[in-house]
Structure 1
């Protein structure tokens, strides 16, 4: 039986490691041809060689810095139409709002928000023309419930959710699907930058998500009408409770929220 994603063309940003790498690998295992973007050529090349050796599909790498949003349209011209876009690239810093530099603030929004929006704008015309396509935006539970020392990161993920929810409604008659993925902390290199003192990882390490499980879940819903993926279930439950009783959740969770 043919694989579900056979010869689908999937572009994955931030694919040189972590969740993006695993999404690329499991997409390729399903028969998809993958295009991987990231800043680290050596890491991208290593991912490419593994995919070529084990999956026997087309795999292309593009060395690219997501903060250079003005270059995305030019880069896209070398890529051409895709069936699925996975906006995975992003980073965060666990710092108090007053301690975060203007430079880091701008960079975080360039990568997490403006880069995501610009890539989406680049791929959408072709998807709409063929009445088929899927935009998958990696957001975060931080986009649903903010915590101390992650104000700017949470702001970027709130923006991703707001953009995605509006976009989904705009595209409802086009055949193009929009899914947001809202994971809690995942065992990846994300925290080498975000949590440089290691306190957050030490506090929540036993609850961290396995990147392979998250990636497989994402691949399993590709080209389906899945609105959101929320992981883990218990954390999403807290996020839902927060929407109804924000003051209560902030009071009860104050000590846990400050463990960064």
Structure 2
């Protein structure tokens, strides 16, 4: 029997990567309040205990993490209707000064890890399910002093756009969201360099609200202009 798209979140089985992060946490809270059944993964598993969700420890830099986390989540929840990828790292500094290890980490966490998750999701998600990746405004508008970070976000955004077309036959919805600068605190935890002066960004709650709305409203692409400063 054909399944309806996951637009009603009550009892939807959803896995959130990066659930302890600045955006992952409020997204997880909103999904839980909407009645979703959750499995969560993040670096700070202690911070995830309050969610009441099934916690899966994982390091997304490891090649097999996507496969093992999705398999455990699907087993625990009895299947998966949706996946949210809210994990990421940032680095600052001129391109000429970028260290190879920093570039590797940016590409592994921001590009290769989501690629592996999405690739695996296409074989695990129930028909009419969704996978949502959070990219960033720099995917559309690269920023000086953030060249490698911008490139990593642009790469995964391009991958998502292509996979969205491929996934139509399987009825899996592939969603790319690219919010403007948001006050998640990520800039203060850069893996290299110091953040330049940035204007005040959106609140994580505002961005999380818009992301959950994209799931509910059957959207597939949420570019920066779709986010507003209004709550």
Backbone CA RMSD of aligned residues: 2.1
User: Which residue number corresponds to residue 212 of structure 1?
Assistant: 205
Aligned-pair CA distance for 1:214:
0.8
User: Which residue number corresponds to residue 56 of structure 1?
Assistant: none
Greater fraction of residues in helix: 1
User: Which residue number corresponds to residue 221 of structure 2?
Assistant: 228
User: Which residue number corresponds to residue 161 of structure 1?
Assistant: 157
Question: How do residues 36-75 of structure 1 correspond to structure 2 at under 5 angstroms?
Answer: 36-45=40-49, 49=50, 51-52=51-52, 59-75=53-69
Aligned-pair CA distance for 1:8:
0.6
- Is residue 2:193 matched to residue 1:189? no
User: Which residue number corresponds to residue 118 of structure 1?
Assistant: 116
Q: Which secondary structure does the structure 2 equivalent of 1:77 belong to?
A: helix
| Separation in structure 2 between the aligned mates of residue 199 and residue 125 of structure 1, nearest angstrom | 41
- Is residue 2:35 matched to residue 1:31? yes
Aligned-pair CA distance for 1:193:
2.3
Query: Which of residues 73, 78, 81 is equivalent to 1:79?
Result: 73
- Is residue 2:82 matched to residue 1:89? no
User: Which residue number corresponds to residue 131 of structure 1?
Assistant: 127
| Separation in structure 1 between the aligned mates of residue 226 and residue 127 of structure 2, nearest angstrom | 33
Pair 1:196–1:156, CA change in 2 (3 A): closer
Q: Which secondary structure does the structure 1 equivalent of 2:93 belong to?
A: coil
Normalization by structure 1: what TM-score? 0.77
Aligned-pair CA distance for 1:70:
2.6
Pair 1:174–1:63, CA change in 2 (3 A): same
| Separation in structure 2 between the aligned mates of residue 135 and residue 234 of structure 1, nearest angstrom | 20
Normalization by structure 2: what TM-score? 0.86
| Separation in structure 2 between the aligned mates of residue 42 and residue 35 of structure 1, nearest angstrom | 14
Q: Which has the higher contact order (CA 8 A, sep 6+)?
A: 2
User: Which residue number corresponds to residue 4 of structure 2?
Assistant: none
| Separation in structure 2 between the aligned mates of residue 156 and residue 13 of structure 1, nearest angstrom | 18
Aligned-pair CA distance for 1:15:
1.0
Q: Is the 8 A contact 2:21 2:86 kept in 1?
A: no
Pair 1:89–1:234, CA change in 2 (3 A): closer
Q: Which secondary structure does the structure 2 equivalent of 1:183 belong to?
A: coil
Pair 1:170–1:8, CA change in 2 (3 A): same
| Separation in structure 2 between the aligned mates of residue 107 and residue 199 of structure 1, nearest angstrom | 20
Q: How many residues align?
A: 217
Q: State which structure, 1 or 2, has the greater radius of gyration over its C-alpha atoms.
A: 1
Q: Is the 8 A contact 2:17 2:40 kept in 1?
A: yes
Instruction: State the 4+ residue runs in structure 1 displaced beyond 2 angstroms.
Output: 69-72, 74-77, 193-200, 230-235
Gaps of 5+ in 1: 53-58, 236-260
